Amino acid sequence: MARRIGCFFSDVWRSATDMRFYGTAAALPFRSAFLHLVKVSLAIGSMLAVMLAAQLFFLNNVWRWCADNLPAVTVLNGTASAEVAQPMVIEHRSGAGEPFAVIIDTTGATEGVDLKYRAGVLVKKRGVVFRVGETVFSRDYLADASFTIDRRYFESLVVRRRWIALLAAGVYPAALAALFLQSAAAAAVGVFASRLRGAGLPFRAVLQMSFYAAALAVCFILAILLVGVRLDPRVLLGVYAFVHVAFLVAAVVSAEGGARAA
């Protein structure tokens, strides 16, 4: 069996379409399999770093103005409402640059922040959309969340501001550590499933398979987000765990079959 594995995206595709690929992954040197996990942690870290940078822009430039000028928005059980005529568009211009916009529209008529603004925030019925330059990301309210977006809410964001630089610096190692621990936990499930079948694959081999299954699960979640599907974070976590463990167990079963055939 060939022990050489190609580029990252090719490996993700093969891990989704060919269970025999995991046998190749299990036979690699540990550092090669671990490098695959490093690559996917960089993808996650980059996405989180962009989100943190956008929030830092917001906190540095417009939080006090928002606190002084925006009407209160109430979120009850994950649904926002405001006692103002909507859509409500408030522009804030600092200096000679393009204005910043805050849009409140819980009716669903407004889908995003117009590109004529350099940045903006859209408060929607089910979440908030942020845009800074070409970077757009959204944050949905939890289904059972209830709070009020008012001056006190904005002031609470400033308390967190001091931690953003530390979070940005630590997001890459944190993503890698989280993926490694999740992969190890899934590998333990894979080893248990293997022993139940009377095979008993070594933990290291299953762990290396788990690295590739984790990367596949992450890419699956990123694809869901990129096409615009908005799910509760807990649902996304459940989907991630299911895809990770399901493909890993299938890989273990395939590896056992290959070993018996050999």
**Taken in order 206, 211, 213, 214, is the CA torsion positive or negative?**
positive
The pairing of strands 73-76 and 147-149 is antiparallel
As a whole number of Å, the CA-based R_g of the chain is 23
Return the higher-pLDDT residue of 98 and 180: 180
Buried b / exposed e across 136-165, counting CB within 10 Å, b at 16+? ebbebbeeeeeeebeeebbeeeeeeeeeee
- pLDDT-derived band at 2 (thresholds 50, 70, 90) equals very low
Report residue 81: phi and psi, to 5°.
Answer: -150, 155
C-alpha neighbours within 13 Å on the C-beta side of residue 52: 19
The pLDDT, as a whole number, for residue 241 is 92
What does the CA dihedral 237, 25, 208, 35 come to, rounded to 10 degrees?
Answer: -80
Are 101 and 120 contacting, i.e. CB atoms less than 8 angstroms apart?
Answer: yes
Rounded alpha-carbon distances, angstroms, from residue 186 to 15, 176, 222: 16, 15, 20
Report residue 214: phi and psi, to 5°.
Answer: -65, -45
Buried b / exposed e across 29-41, counting CB within 10 Å, b at 16+? eeeebbebbeebb
SS3 80: strand
- pLDDT-derived band at 257 (thresholds 50, 70, 90) equals low
Return the higher-pLDDT residue of 258 and 184: 184
AA identity, residue 198: G
Are 252 and 194 contacting, i.e. CB atoms less than 8 angstroms apart?
Answer: yes
> Does the pLDDT value for residue 163 go beyond 70?
no
Return the higher-pLDDT residue of 118 and 235: 235
Average pLDDT of the residues of the chain: 79
pLDDT by residue (tens digit) across 169-210? Answer: 677 788 889 899 999 999 999 898 888 877 678 899 999 999
pLDDT by residue (tens digit) across 61-70? Answer: 667 777 777 7
Tracing tokens 């522009």 back to the chain, one arrives at 91
Poorest-confidence range of 50-54, 250-254, 255-259? Answer: 255-259
